[in-house]
Amino acid sequence: MNSKISNISESFRQILHTIPTGVLLLAAAKTRTLEEVEAAIQAGITAFGYNYVQEALPIIQEIGDQTKWHMIGHLQQNKVSVAVKNFDMIETVDSWRLAQALDHQCAKIQKKMPVLVEVNSGREVSKTGVLPEAVDDLIIQMSSLKYLSVEGLMTMGPRFGDPEDSRPYFKATREVFERIAARNLPNIAMKYLSMGMSNSYQIAIEEGATIIRIGTKLFGER
């Protein structure tokens, strides 16, 4: 086993020392090899996130249900059918249209799909996600869907050099999370707040993240 693969286990151990119990480390596996993913599973990683359905499929088909698979990139309408068959959670629901398409495809295979609503906390025109003030209305609509289980929120947040600069965006997302949780909407369980990546996850945890998406810090540079 080469040094890059053997380092994954040590990196995982080091990261675990910096996160509290109850926070899920989701391995962001974009561009990573099957060998790297298998090494991460052996190290103890229990969930992997992919940005693209087509990249994830060969890995998922090889590894199967040894781990959980999260969709963490923008999900195109024409990939919905494949996504619901292969992923265990969709973290990037950003429209009523996408929510309906997911529900429709899940109904076909009688699968209840946990989903997170993606919040565009930085109000970036180039980013997907729902604006913070529009999240409530979307989630209220989604509460009527039989095959989707809304379980929280996700945000990418603007990418900065200084991790501290991301704090206002994580805080804004947490405030939306708490606001919706307080409404006690039917069929809505606000359990997960997915925020933070390799350079910002500790700030995200301070602001309430329960899922952190770690790539480089776990696997090393691409």
How does pLDDT run across 126-182, given as a tens digit for each residue? 899 999 999 999 999 999 999 999 999 999 977 878 999 999 999 999 999 999 999
pLDDT at 2: 66
pLDDT at 197: 95
Q: Which domain holds residue 7?
A: 3-219
- Asked if residues 198 and 217 have their Cβ atoms less than 8 Å apart, the reply is yes
How does pLDDT run across 39-93, given as a tens digit for each residue? 999 999 999 999 999 999 999 999 999 999 999 999 999 999 999 999 999 999 9
Within 10 angstroms of residue 191's Cβ, the number of other Cβ atoms is 15
C-alpha radius of gyration, the chain, whole number: 17
d(Cα 31, Cα 182) in Å, to the nearest integer?
A: 39
pLDDT at 158: 77
What's the structural domain count of the chain?
A: 1
Rounded mean pLDDT of 191-217? 97
Which residues have a Cβ under 8 Å from the Cβ of 3 and sit 6 or more positions away? none
CATH code at 94?
3.20.20.10
